[in-house]
C-alpha cells in the first residue's frame, strides 16, 4: 500500500498523478494529449532504441553487396554447421536399386487381408429361382413337343353310335360305289363280303348245333 500513499517511491507507475487527491481518479492536465508520446518514449527506453533511428526496416549500407562475402567468411571460419556443407540433394548409394525392395518389405507386413463375406441367403434365393425356371421350361418343352393324343371316341356309348348310324347312314348300291371307287376295290369288297357271309353262316351253324 506504500505505492498508493507515496506514489513517488515507485517511478514505474505511469499514472502516479491520478492517485493524488481524495478521490484518486483525477486526471492530470493535458494527460490525454501527452499519453501517446509517453507510450512511445517508454517503448523506446525498454527496447533501447536510439531516438535518431526513425526507420525500423532500414537496411544497413552495403548490406546486399557484402552479403556473399560474409557468408563465405563464416564458411571458412567454421561458423556454419557441417551438415550445411553437404549436398542436400545427394541420393544415397544404391538408392534406386533397393527402392522397390524396401517398399515391398514395408507394405508386405502391413498389408491387410481382404475377407469377402458371402451372402448365403442371396445365393440360395438365386439358386431356387434358377431351379423353378428350369422346371417350368422343361414342362413347357415336354407339353408342346410331345402332346398326348386325345381319344374322342372313348366316352361314346354303343347306343349313341347305333343312333348316329341309323340317322345318317345311306344305302349304297354297286352303281353308286362305282362312281367313288375303282373296279379292283369293288372286287375286293365283294370278296370280303363273301367271306363275312361264310363266316357268319358257319357261326350260326355252330350255335344251332
Q: What is 136-154 written as a DSSP string?
A: HHHHHHHHHHSPPPP-TTT
Examine residue 91 and state whether it is found in any structural domain, yes or no.
yes
Q: What is the pLDDT of residue 27?
A: 77
Q: How far is CA 57 from CA 42, 54, 153, in A?
A: 20, 9, 125
Q: What is the pLDDT of residue 1?
A: 43
Residues 121-148 pLDDT 10s: 777 778 888 888 888 888 777 776 655 5
Q: What is the pLDDT of residue 146?
A: 59
Higher pLDDT, 49 or 93: 93
3-state secondary structure of 126: helix
Total length of the chain: 209
Tell me the C-alpha distance between 3 and 10, whole Å: 6
Q: What is the pLDDT of residue 147?
A: 56
Reported as a pLDDT band with limits 50, 70 and 90, residue 104 is confident
Alpha helices in the chain (DSSP H): 2-5, 31-47, 63-77, 95-110, 120-145, 158-168, 174-178, 183-208
Grid cell in block for residue 83? 551438415
Reported as a pLDDT band with limits 50, 70 and 90, residue 7 is very low
Higher pLDDT, 62 or 150: 62
Examine residue 54 and state whether it is found in any structural domain, yes or no.
yes
* pTM score of the predicted model: 0.19
Domain count within the chain:
1
Reported as a pLDDT band with limits 50, 70 and 90, residue 2 is very low
Examine residue 174 and state whether it is found in any structural domain, yes or no.
no
Residues 35-77 pLDDT 10s: 888 888 877 776 655 555 556 677 788 888 888 888 888 777 7
Examine residue 103 and state whether it is found in any structural domain, yes or no.
yes
Examine residue 59 and state whether it is found in any structural domain, yes or no.
yes
Examine residue 82 and state whether it is found in any structural domain, yes or no.
yes
Range of the domain at 29: 1-107
Examine residue 171 and state whether it is found in any structural domain, yes or no.
no
Task: Name 184's Cβ contacts closer than 8 Å, sequence gap at least 6.
Answer: none
Tell me the C-alpha distance between 1 and 197, whole Å: 165
- Return the C-alpha torsion angle 161, 162, 165, 171, nearest 10: 150
Residues 27-37 pLDDT 10s: 778 888 888 88
Q: What is the pLDDT of residue 58?
A: 77
Amino acid at each position: 500500500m506504500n505505492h498508493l500513499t507515496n506514489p513517488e517511491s515507485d517511478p514505474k507507475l505511469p499514472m502516479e498523478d491520478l492517485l493524488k487527491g481524495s478521490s484518486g481518479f483525477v486526471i492530470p492536465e493535458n494527460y490525454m494529449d501527452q499519453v501517446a508520446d509517453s507510450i512511445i518514449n517508454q517503448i523506446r527506453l525498454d527496447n533501447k532504441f536510439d531516438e535518431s533511428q526513425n526507420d525500423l526496416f532500414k537496411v544497413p549500407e552495403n548490406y546486399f553487396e557484402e552479403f556473399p562475402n560474409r557468408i563465405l567468411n563464416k564458411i571458412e571460419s567454421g561458423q556454419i554447421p557441417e551438415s550445411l556443407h553437404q549436398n542436400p540433394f545427394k541420393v544415397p548409394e544404391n538408392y534406386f536399386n533397393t527402392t522397390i525392395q524396401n517398399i515391398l518389405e514395408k507394405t508386405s507386413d502391413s498389408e491387410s487381408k481382404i475377407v469377402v463375406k458371402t451372402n448365403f441367403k442371396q445365393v440360395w434365393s438365386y439358386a431356387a429361382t434358377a431351379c423353378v425356371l428350369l422346371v417350368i421350361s422343361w414342362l413347357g418343352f415336354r407339353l408342346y413337343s410331345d402332346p398326348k393324343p386325345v381319344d374322342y371316341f372313348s366316352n361314346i356309348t354303343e347306343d349313341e353310335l347305333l343312333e348316329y348310324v341309323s340317322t345318317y347312314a345311306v344305302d349304297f348300291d354297286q352303281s353308286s360305289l362305282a362312281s367313288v371307287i375303282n373296279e379292283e376295290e369293288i372286287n375286293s369288297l365283294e370278296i370280303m363280303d363273301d367271306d363275312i357271309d361264310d363266316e357268319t353262316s358257319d357261326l350260326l351253324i355252330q350255335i344251332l348245333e
